[in-house]
Structure 1
Amino acid sequence: MKLIGSLTSPYVRKTRIVLAEKHIGYNFELEAPWDSDSHVPDYNPLGKVPILIMDDGTSLFDSRVIVEYLDNMNPVSRLIPESNRRRIMVKRWEALADGICDAAAAMFLERKRPEPSQSTEWISRQQTKVTRGLQAAAHDLSDKKWCDGNIYTLADIALGCALGYLAFRFSEIEWRNTYPNLADLSERLEKQAPFIETAPRG
């Protein structure tokens, strides 16, 4: 299998961590979807990463689709619970974490535009989404060790990648002081080998 992605995308990082946790071998091909000569649209008509090219040449895109496929490839160390209620709650965590990333990425891209063309209203709306997302995550995590309680799951990976992206792109957002339980979770995750090996850079 081949994974196409960048070193800065939190969605690519989530996929790479799941691959590591499931002990699935793959080739990693670096592609920046914004480059004019990018081959990303050849595999994903939406022009986004990550993209997983399966052994038969079929491409999978959207990190949520890819990680579910990967988790089902190997029944050992399931990251998405099988029971319906727990499964839905873990996927809910993933949706929340990805939503934080969506809003943060939208802010980042808007700030890259020439300053006179930037929409302060748009940036503010995305900032509000990030703030509310962090508030919800901190509330739902409460005093639990992991998002799903005492078991490490995809929920923790997704939230850890979202927090890592904020730390990478938005050092001015002081979520660590505001939400110490999120800071504790992030610190535990960032000490694990899959997180260390996929730390965003670029």
Structure 2
Amino acid sequence: MKLIGSLGSPYVRKVRVVLAEKKLDYQFELENVWASDTAISKWNPLGKVPSLIMDDGSVMIDSRVMVEYLDTLTPVCKLLPTNSRDRADVKCWEALADGIIDAAVIVRLERLRPIELQSEDWVARQLGKVRLGLAALSDKLGDLPYCMGKNYSLADVAVGCTLGWLAFRFPDIGWRDDHANLARLFDKLSERQSFKDTFPSA
């Protein structure tokens, strides 16, 4: 398998963490989708990373699709439960974590526009989603050691990648001070080799 992505994308990182946890071999090819000569459309008509090229040449897009598939390839470190309700709960954690990133990415892109074209109302709306999403993650986590209770799962991977990206791109968002339980979870996840090896960079 070959993973097309960037070192800074939290969606790419989520897939890389899962690949590492599952101990799956793959090639990692860097691609800057914002470069004028990007070739991303060869793999994804939507112009997004990650893209996962399978051994038969077919291409899988969307990190949520990829990680669910990758979890089926080996019994090592099972990240999704077999029980349908628990599985749906994990996917809801992932959807919330990814949604926080979606809103924050919009803010980042808006702030890259010329200052006279930026909309502070639009930025405030998206940051409101980020803060409400973080509060929801914190409420769901409570005093649990992991998102789903005692066991590490894809929910923790998704939440950890979201928190790591916010710390990387939005250090002014004080989620550590506001949500001590998320900080504890993030610090614990950051000790895992899969997280250490995929630390985001520009």
TM-score, structure 2 normalization? 0.99
Shift of 1:36: 1.2
1:200 aligns with 2:196: no
C-alpha distance in structure 1 between counterparts of 2:128 and 2:61, whole Å? 28
Shift of 1:75: 2.6
C-alpha distance in structure 1 between counterparts of 2:183 and 2:52, whole Å? 31
Deviations 1:79-116 (A, max 9, x none): 01110010000000000000001011111111011111
Could you say which residue in structure 2 is the equivalent of 1:9? 9
Moved >4 Å (runs of 4+): none
1:88 aligns with 2:84: no
Shift of 1:48: 0.4
Deviations 1:24-60 (A, max 9, x none): 0000000011111111111001100000000000000
Deviations 1:111-161 (A, max 9, x none): 011111111111111100000000000000000000000000000000000
User: What residue ranges of structure 1 are gaps of 5+ in the alignment?
Assistant: none
Map 1:1-202 to 2 at 5 A.
1-202=1-202
C-alpha distance in structure 1 between counterparts of 2:91 and 2:184, whole Å? 22
Instruction: Please give the secondary structure, in 1, of the residue aligned with 2:7.
Output: coil
C-alpha distance in structure 1 between counterparts of 2:36 and 2:86, whole Å? 42
Opposite residue 154 of structure 2, the aligned amino acid is L
Instruction: Please give the secondary structure, in 2, of the residue aligned with 1:72.
Output: coil
Q: How many residues align?
A: 202
Alignment root-mean-square deviation, CA: 0.6
C-alpha distance in structure 1 between counterparts of 2:3 and 2:100, whole Å? 23
